[in-house]
Amino acid sequence: MNKKYILILFLLWIVACGTRADEVPAVGLWEKLAVTDGRFHLVARRNYIFTNKKLTEKTIFTGFRDLGGEQDVVCCLVVKSLVPLNLQDILKKYGADSDFVEHMKSVKGLDFIYEADPFSKKDGNDAFKTIFEADDNPQDLSPYTAPVIAIKLDKNSVKIPFRMGEKNINIKTKYSKNGDVVTYEIGINKEKTLFSEGALPH
């Protein structure tokens, strides 16, 4: 292998690494929902992540909850299956739960849906552990949703905006005047993604 060929390979490797470092991660919405038979009997617990981009590899997501100038961090979830789910198939499977169907249909602005799993219930941060403790109680049907970013953030909270590596990250949450719709805006460097969902009861 001559020196010129080695140099070309080295330059290509540098370009590839730089491109990956500059790549804006996927963002979206985590839906942690208890599905019932329509009579408040638990049928399944599901974690779905709606994303703005098609995933090409196993991806870890961190969730955020707006505390007013600061974000509660929920770490982490992982998407292992890279086959996007079909919304109509989900709605058909769990059609007996009208609240579930209505809420899933309310998500706007995100094109892909994936099944997600807890990355590690043992090693999750404080908010993560609190949220998943409810899974042990079949009477607890409380839903939980949060905007997510495809990063692993090992903190309990962050002030907005914040910086991670070369990425400047900002998250905004806004409710409609009647409180029925929540709109999220996630900005990473110059790329902004806007999406919304029906507001869950508090």
Q: In the chain, what is the greatest distance between 2 CA atoms, to the nearest angstrom?
A: 72
Asked if 131 and 77 touch (Cβ cutoff 8 Å), the reply is no
Cβ neighbours, 10 Å, residue 39: 7
Question: What is the spatial distance between Cα 186 and Cα 192, in angstroms, rounded to a whole number?
Answer: 6
DSSP string, 34-96: EEE-SSS-EEEEEEEEEESS---S-EEEEEEEE-SSEEEEEEEEEE---SPPPHHHHHHHTTT
Asked if 130 and 144 touch (Cβ cutoff 8 Å), the reply is no
Which residue is associated with the tokens 């590690």? 120
Question: What is the spatial distance between Cα 171 and Cα 192, in angstroms, rounded to a whole number?
Answer: 10
In the chain, where are the structural domains located? 25-198
Where on the phi/psi map is residue 179: left (φ > 0), alpha (ψ -120 to 50), or beta? left
Distance of CA 65 to CAs 29, 58, 89, 130, 131, Å? 11, 24, 29, 13, 12
Q: Over the chain (202 residues), what is each successive 10-residue block's mean pLDDT?
A: 51 43 88 94 97 98 91 96 98 97 98 95 86 90 96 93 94 95 97 96 66
